[in-house]
Structure 1
Amino acid sequence: MGQFERFKEARRAAQQAALGRWIERTEQREQNKQQVAAAGIGAADSPQRNARFQLREATLAQARELRAIGRLPIGIERKIGPTLDIVSFPENETARKAGRPVARVVLLGGDGTQAEGIATAFLASPQLLMTNHHVFPSRSAAHGTGANFLFERSERGIETGVTFEIDPDAFYVADEALDVALVAVKPRSVDGHSLSEYGSITLIEATSKILIGQPVNIIQHPEGGPKQYAVAHNRLVDILAAGFLHYETDTLEGSSGSPAFSKSWELVALHHASIPEYRDGRVVAVDGGFWEEGMPDDKVHWIANEGTRISAIVKFLAGLQLDNLAQQEMLGDLLKTTTDPVDDLLSLQGATAAPPPNVIASDSFTRLGVSTMAPNQFTFSGPVNIHVYAASQAAPVSSVQQVATDAQKLIAVEAPIRFDRDYQNREGYDPTFLDADNPDLQVPAPNVVSERLDEILTDRKGKPLVLKYHHFELAMNERRRLQMWSAANVDYAPERKHKGDRKSFGSDKWVPDPRIPAAAQIFDSEFYKPAGNIDRGHIVRREDNAWGDDETEIEFANSDTFHWTNCTPQHEAFNQSNPARNDAAYRGMKGLWGDFENYVQKGLGDEDTKACILAGPVLDKRDPSADFGAGAIQYPLNFWKVVVVAPQIDGMRVLRAYGFLLSQADVVERFGIEVFQPGRFRQHQVSLQRLTELTGVSFDDALHAADPLKGSGERIDIVDGSEIRGVRRKLRNGKESLGRANATPQEWPRQQDGSKLVASKTAKAAAPK
């Protein structure tokens, strides 16, 4: 079987898989169509997707105004690309620019032979070409092929274009499930043209670039022929959580590896399969009869297309860790461009990229409270405070000038934090950290109770997988795609801390852990970015972990906390020990997640600077969920933490283990995660036994013995760190106390309303009881 025949067979297999998904989604797809028909574009999408989509559209419109007056930073302008060229009737010129990086994949022949086209591909970076896995299922399959650019019709006829040899030895990665392949292309063609002349199509990870019911434009080389544009009768009809889009078309069969764009010419999918009409278990032909094996594909009655979502592809690529350093750098260069340029634009205005809490427009869709059409003027209120005007009307000069002034302040993009590339030699958590010579002061890492072991990500031998990092380690709950527990060694000694400020490490950047599947981790575009005003909350705090004997150790320890495995959704007033530094609205508030160990550490005394911190989210099967286009994701309402120290008491060092349970349930219930505003958090000191009952995480007997609340069913409500039972603190008379552990109930502090801070069995539960 020749290469062309193998490609045709592989394409047919991809089409069969796509047909299966199409049939499975029939009921949901028809529901989507009915909603769009009844209430308009956006009716079949969530309020979150609608809000984020409108924010992106309005911000991109303002970007066009900035470019018109020469005030748009060049880096952002290049990243947005053809999207900036939208005018009243943009199809021809804008489509031409969008299509320039699109190439015909050809089989290279010898001298005197004409190259045979087999598929479509496009440049996703200046060096790398993207197409389908079924086009290049292996590195060897890409040998002897080329990328033929500008093979298209013109006034002179069909232009032969320029062909560059594909170079899979320089770079090749692929994924069969997503049907994507990425290969290198040689930088110069045979006749001396430079690959850089053709530009590239940016892979932007944002999930809200298109709404159900809007058109999907496809630039393709159908059947290996000249470039063609499908820009009509091709609406999006379904978004699949598995990472695919379904869109209708009655134009041409889509060509494998084609880029699929939104109406604004933003890349939304990699086209990979056409879906035939299916009747009575057989494929329907264009003449109304049935297609038979051996008939050409153009005799099939194609009714829809399936494409792989760009957000799913970016997630896959971000999860790769390549052995070849040069190839990893090429991949890294591509991934640097995948962040949403709308976020860059909003940062110029001091705004957040989260969906606005209110979108006030002239035409409102009552179900969502936001406009589903394109009004002339938007006003985003709440934490986002920008006024955006459509390009079709003149914007007030003051508005454009103000943003232009902000744009002038933009400096070169700061280099991101640097990660240790060697994942084999991370030492992980040290249970002897408090005192290596004293076995009584050992702090073993947690375990998981047998009833919940089936939720845990395992290694090849079926045992719970423990991921080691610098100074900490953790286990993942595979079902929830979140951390189950973490164990960290912390040293507060000033001489072991970073000498510069946080920014001197570089700009924060969250990354996947390449040792585990990407599907086992929650990525930015799936939840954190579209969810709204929530933090990408560290379970192992960055400031706790950033210590070491030299700057390199400190730097890598700091960076390791920015793996998605260490991230959970947390409200900023809950996550940060001093949230008012970033938002004056939180003035006077203390983020208790960070405040507990701060207070416990103060009780250690100057002679001791070490602590072991065990922590994680409470992953309850009753947790709420949200779907921002990548499938429903449950998010935790409660978090737990155990701070273990070894203070000097009566001349001896003894273990103390303080268990805490924190809940943001009240705030989520009242405001929702899209308008996550500061509110009252419930915080409690609880026994380790109670934490195990709530979390499924078990602790060593030595830690139970060191728990001031051992054997107690109490849940001590606390206001701040000073109310932690069992913490040593200095009294006014110079003596020391272990806090409420030695106090009588009459001496316990009171809340502002005068009621005592005691555990109440009848208290309204924001945290699990």
Structure 2
Amino acid sequence: MKSQVENLVRERLALTSARRKQSVQAIARGRAEQAEPDHRRAQRYAFQYLTEQTAITGPDADFLPVAFLQQGMRQSRAVALVREDGVPKGTAFLIGAGLLLTCCHVLPDRQRAASYSVEFGYWLNERGEAPATACYRLDADSFWLASPTEALDCTLVALGERLTGEADLTQLGAIVLSDRADKHRLGMAVNIIQHPGGMAQQVALRDNFLLARGAAGSAAANVLHYTADTDEGSSGAPVFNDSWQLVALHHGAAQDESGALVNEGIRASALVDWLKGEAIGLAPSARQRLIAALRGENNLMLTAQAAPDVNYANRNGYQPDFINSDEITLARIIAPRTAEVAPLRSGATGTAAILDYQNFSLAICATRRIAFLTATNIDGARYIDIKRDSGQPALLPEADSWYEDSRIDSRYYLVQSFYREFSRWFDRGHLTRRSDPCWGTPQEAVRANKDTFHFTNCSPQHFRFNQSLQYWQGVERYILEYGVLQSKKRITVLTGPVLNEQWRQYGGVKVPLMYWKVVLRLGPEGKPQATALLVSQANLLDEPRRIIAQGQQENVPQVDEFRVTVSGLQSLTGLDFSAFAAWDGWQPAPALRADPLPAALIMSWRDLL
């Protein structure tokens, strides 16, 4: 990797050779300000210095106020040493909202992030002691973006669990990313806070000059070239001007045509432009977090959400008579496959091993390590909007966290280790949707929201699955709002994977290819109704996550969503839907698709009613 970075730097140094020579000559004459050929940029930079009154520079004077040292010390709190399995790898720094920036060649792989840690406050005082460090894991599952070494060579990842120390995000602070045009001019001094060679934090202040920036449209357009003392382990360090504003992400160094060692950093403005472009394609919670970071927000709305209440005895679970007096029991539905239900730690087996949560219940298939189905009651009249990431009504967002259920041995269901290992393909997908059981009192709604983040309610869904579905995600809300319901806007949703012989192997796990859903309710005349849906992720599974170059068009596979009969779904799943099969008045036309069962492609929301 070092040789790759050196070769990239060397190639781009060749493109800035003439400009670097001119900058060196201006600095040697004591006229560093003349190194900048862009007079408007030079004026903006000079005006910033006049307004901030941070320095007095010239051929005979180079003064900095004492506050310069205080400001640098404040910025140093956000800088960390990066280690993989305890071995130093480079430097990184917080940019806000609990997001950490480093080089992609320092942290290249999302799957390896779990073996990384970062240590803040690792600097030595006058006694040679590191007084108060704080060590954190990384949480690539909450947030991950990367641009490869040959592009912007950057990785942005969420800070995870604190392992040692006491410093939290507020105390660590953040180094703000900005694309302002007045942060640098050629010939200015640069300052770098870094961990060269894995050493305690060092700062390069002396005889460091910005010599060149790549010309627009060239292969060097996104980089700055500068002199400074750096070493292996400096990659990922922040490069500042004398106002301690970030101007670049230190990327590497190489010898130029004269044999002198010249450093290269990725311009902060290029990073901001790239991140803004990437934000559009992120999930809403991740997008909001990135936007907060780009705004320099660093409040603790991103602290870990509280774990679910482990007093599971207070859960009401799925209510079989929720729709009307005709009980639709979960025990009857899973009866044909009772022998496959995973046992509980209490010794309960079969239908007695159904797990109750707030407003929903589920049963786990022991051999497949995924729920057969979840059954959820939804009372639209008592629905409470629970923010996805804070887990609280009307609060600001924070990162998703998933939890194991102490009532059942984790060997019977998929946990984080699987989703981490196969994160190139799968997201942690809710079976019972996060918002569906969030009704009742505020306390009950909060409890229901947290309960949906149990791994028992999780299934491996291709990362494009949720991006590509329209009707599947919205059928509950559509029926609640537009289905002309007769009974208090109540519905029951049954959903699960198709656990049959159609699967794809990932490690020791047989990942299902299809998912199904049934929505039960009373129609406008009080007549029970059922709508069954089927969707497949089979066409998506050949596509791993990959980095898409900016501006490149993606060929996103189409995911078709089908309406099927309840009786047909019963045959496909091996479950017993006879208690409500007669509620389904829809019948497919003889010519409709019949693989794996007769189905009609859903073309509009009205097709769901």
Q: Give distance in 1, aligned partners of 2:303 and 2:568.
A: 44
One-letter code aligned to 2:329: P
* Cα deviation, residue 613, structure 1: 0.5
**Structure 2 residue 581 is matched with structure 1 residue 704:** yes
* Cα deviation, residue 475, structure 1: 0.4
Q: Give distance in 2, aligned partners of 1:71 and 1:401.
A: 25
**Structure 2 residue 539 is matched with structure 1 residue 666:** yes
The match for 2:418 is: 526
Equivalent residues of 1:704, 1:710 under 8 A apart: no
The match for 1:647 is: 523
Once the two structures are superposed, residues 235-267 of structure 1 have per-residue CA deviations (whole angstroms, 9 ceiling, x without a partner) of xxxxxxxxxxxxxxxxxxxxxxxxxxxxxxxxx
Q: Give distance in 1, aligned partners of 2:338 and 2:331.
A: 13
The match for 1:468 is: 356
Equivalent residues of 1:533, 1:674 under 8 A apart: no
Q: Give distance in 2, aligned partners of 1:470 and 1:449.
A: 20
Rate the CA distance shift 1:83–1:514 in 2: closer, same or farther, 3 A.
Answer: same
One-letter code aligned to 2:493: I
Once the two structures are superposed, residues 87-128 of structure 1 have per-residue CA deviations (whole angstroms, 9 ceiling, x without a partner) of 79xxxxxxxxxxxxxxxxxxxxxxxxxxxxxxxxxxx9x9xx
* Cα deviation, residue 473, structure 1: 0.3
Quick one: which of 313, 317, 321 aligns to 1:432?
321
**Structure 2 residue 333 is matched with structure 1 residue 444:** no
Equivalent residues of 1:443, 1:612 under 8 A apart: no
Rate the CA distance shift 1:531–1:610 in 2: closer, same or farther, 3 A.
Answer: same
Q: Give distance in 1, aligned partners of 2:509 and 2:555.
A: 21
Structure-2-length-normalised TM-score: 0.50
**What SS does the aligned partner of 2:478 have?**
helix
Equivalent residues of 1:79, 1:202 under 8 A apart: no
* Cα deviation, residue 697, structure 1: 2.0
* Cα deviation, residue 610, structure 1: 0.6
Equivalent residues of 1:642, 1:658 under 8 A apart: yes
* Cα deviation, residue 662, structure 1: 0.9
One-letter code aligned to 1:482: I
The match for 2:433 is: 541
* Cα deviation, residue 486, structure 1: 0.8
Q: Structure 1 vs Structure 2: percent identity of aligned residues?
A: 24
**Structure 2 residue 439 is matched with structure 1 residue 559:** no
Equivalent residues of 1:512, 1:521 under 8 A apart: no
**Structure 2 residue 503 is matched with structure 1 residue 623:** yes
Once the two structures are superposed, residues 12-55 of structure 1 have per-residue CA deviations (whole angstroms, 9 ceiling, x without a partner) of xxxxxxxxxxxxxxxxxxxxxxxxxxxx9xxxxxxxxxxxxxxx
Rate the CA distance shift 1:348–1:668 in 2: closer, same or farther, 3 A.
Answer: farther
One-letter code aligned to 1:621: E
The match for 2:264 is: 395
The match for 1:720 is: 604
Q: Give distance in 2, aligned partners of 1:638 and 1:541.
A: 17
Structure-1-length-normalised TM-score: 0.41
Once the two structures are superposed, residues 622-663 of structure 1 have per-residue CA deviations (whole angstroms, 9 ceiling, x without a partner) of 311224xxxx333222100010001122xxx11111111111
The match for 1:152 is: none
The match for 1:422 is: 311
Equivalent residues of 1:573, 1:591 under 8 A apart: no
Q: Give distance in 1, aligned partners of 2:529 and 2:252.
A: 63
Equivalent residues of 1:618, 1:638 under 8 A apart: yes
Rate the CA distance shift 1:79–1:454 in 2: closer, same or farther, 3 A.
Answer: farther
One-letter code aligned to 1:622: Q
Rate the CA distance shift 1:449–1:520 in 2: closer, same or farther, 3 A.
Answer: closer
Quick one: which of 445, 451, 474 aligns to 1:595?
474
The match for 2:406 is: 514
**What SS does the aligned partner of 1:468 have?**
strand
Rate the CA distance shift 1:462–1:559 in 2: closer, same or farther, 3 A.
Answer: closer
Rate the CA distance shift 1:484–1:536 in 2: closer, same or farther, 3 A.
Answer: same
Q: Give distance in 1, aligned partners of 2:134 and 2:470.
A: 44
One-letter code aligned to 2:427: D
* Cα deviation, residue 556, structure 1: 0.8
One-letter code aligned to 2:340: E
Q: Give distance in 2, aligned partners of 1:461 and 1:658.
A: 33
**What SS does the aligned partner of 1:511 have?**
coil
* Cα deviation, residue 519, structure 1: 1.8
One-letter code aligned to 1:626: Y
RMSD: 4.9
One-letter code aligned to 1:486: T
**What SS does the aligned partner of 2:304 have?**
coil
One-letter code aligned to 1:693: S
Quick one: which of 692, 696, 717 aligns to 2:570?
692
* Cα deviation, residue 694, structure 1: 1.7
Once the two structures are superposed, residues 171-193 of structure 1 have per-residue CA deviations (whole angstroms, 9 ceiling, x without a partner) of xxxxxxxxxxxxxxxxxxxxxxx
Rate the CA distance shift 1:428–1:709 in 2: closer, same or farther, 3 A.
Answer: same
* Aligned ranges 1:196-595 → 2 under 5 Å: 390-391=251-252, 394-396=263-265, 398-399=267-268, 402=271, 406=294, 408-412=296-300, 414-418=302-306, 419-435=308-324, 439-440=325-326, 442-445=327-330, 447=332, 452-459=337-344, 460-464=347-351, 465-493=353-381, 495-498=382-385, 503=390, 505=392, 507=398, 508-527=400-419, 530-532=422-424, 534-548=426-440, 550-571=441-462, 574-575=465-466, 591-595=470-474
The match for 2:560 is: 682
One-letter code aligned to 1:718: I
Count matched residues. 369
* Cα deviation, residue 432, structure 1: 1.3
**What SS does the aligned partner of 2:264 have?**
coil
Q: Give distance in 2, aligned partners of 1:336 and 1:624.
A: 43
One-letter code aligned to 1:468: D
Q: Give distance in 2, aligned partners of 1:73 and 1:566.
A: 42
The match for 2:126 is: none
Gaps of 5+ in 2: 2-70, 92-116, 120-129, 142-159, 167-172, 179-231, 237-247, 255-262, 276-292, 548-553, 590-596
The match for 2:14 is: none
Equivalent residues of 2:386, 2:435 under 8 A apart: no
Q: Give distance in 2, aligned partners of 1:348 and 1:563.
A: 35
One-letter code aligned to 2:506: A
The match for 1:93 is: none
* Cα deviation, residue 377, structure 1: 10
**What SS does the aligned partner of 1:527 have?**
helix
The match for 1:14 is: none
